């Protein structure tokens, strides 16, 4: 006969699992968009908790409801979820920064559009680069690996035991520097070609001053940028697989302290 009893002990276990998952889900790049209602995020978190609860019941310690202990646990889980989500956000932000660089060099720096992910305005190709990063993330089964690491964190980092130390802080800083490196590598092919294009137009303006370079340069840079940006997309898959492997290595080190 199926036992559906749910006592105080079970509620404390369920709340402990829900606490960690809620901070991670609400701050993940995929769910952090203001376009996704908070009610939907909360329902997803509850469903996610209910799915993992039978597996984690014998692993997780029940949540203590004493005020001081509860505040300490909440702060620790909030820091853990923030670090976990920011490390993933760095990769997506690298793509968005690469889009900003390419957009500016192509002459679209003055043109901005509404960004549904951030709720603000972004340059034209920044949104496209961000969507490509998200598609590559799911194509490379990144969500499966992230889910596996989240489940593993309940075993290796018990609820309320996470503490930010100097070692973790240094790893975060080291991972943050990768944002600029990845952005430059992604946008480098287009930036180099556009730089050579500007040099060529400068020579044309020098030897043929009767040509209005200011008006003729815009269509040239746009066409050249679009062509070489489409070529560079072909190698993004292999490059991003290496970057995501570095991200997963960092997350595994975070939960296996």
Q: What is the distance, to the nearest Å, from the Cα of residue 44 to the centroid of all Cα atoms in its chain?
A: 19
Coil vs helix vs strand at 121: strand
Is residue 209 in some structural domain?
A: no
Is residue 218 in some structural domain?
A: no
pLDDT tens digits, 171-183: 788 778 778 888 8
Residues 52, 112: Cα–Cα separation, whole Å: 42
Domain that holds residue 245: 8-105+113-186+241-255
pLDDT tens digits, 84-126: 888 888 888 888 888 888 888 777 766 655 555 555 566 677 7
Residues 105, 71: Cα–Cα separation, whole Å: 49
What are the residues facing 232 on neighbouring strands?
none
Is residue 44 in some structural domain?
A: yes
Is residue 191 in some structural domain?
A: no
Number of domains in the chain: 1
DSSP per-residue codes, 126-187 = HHHHHHHHHHHHHHTTHHHHHHHHHHHHHHHS-TT-----HHHHHHHHHHHHHHHHHHHHHH
């Amino acid at each position: 006969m199926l036992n559906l009893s749910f006592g105080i002990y079970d509620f404390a276990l369920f709340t402990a699992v829900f606490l960690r998952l809620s901070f991670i889900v609400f701050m993940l790049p995929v769910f952090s968009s203001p376009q996704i209602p908070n009610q939907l995020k909360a329902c997803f978190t509850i469903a996610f908790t209910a799915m993992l609860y039978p597996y984690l019941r014998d692993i997780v310690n029940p949540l203590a409801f004493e005020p001081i202990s509860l505040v300490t646990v909440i702060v620790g889980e909030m820091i853990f979820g923030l670090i976990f989500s920011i490390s993933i956000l760095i990769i997506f932000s690298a793509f968005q920064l690469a889009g900003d660089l390419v957009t500016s060099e192509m002459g679209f720096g003055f043109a901005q559009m509404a960004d549904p992910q951030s709720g603000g305005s972004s340059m034209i190709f920044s949104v496209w680069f961000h969507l490509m990063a998200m598609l590559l993330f799911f194509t490379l089964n990144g969500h499966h690996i992230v889910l596996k690491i989240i489940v593993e964190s309940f075993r290796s980092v018990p609820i309320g035991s996470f503490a930010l130390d100097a070692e973790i802080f240094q790893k975060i800083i080291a991972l943050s520097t990768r944002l600029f490196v990845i952005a430059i590598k992604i946008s480098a092919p287009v930036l180099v070609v556009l730089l050579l294009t500007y040099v060529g137009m400068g020579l044309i303006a020098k030897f043929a001053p009767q040509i209005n370079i200011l008006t003729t340069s815009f269509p040239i840079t746009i066409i050249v940028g679009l062509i070489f940006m489409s070529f560079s997309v072909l190698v993004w898959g292999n490059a991003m697989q290496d970057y995501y492997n570095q991200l997963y290595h960092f997350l595994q080190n975070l939960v296996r302290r």
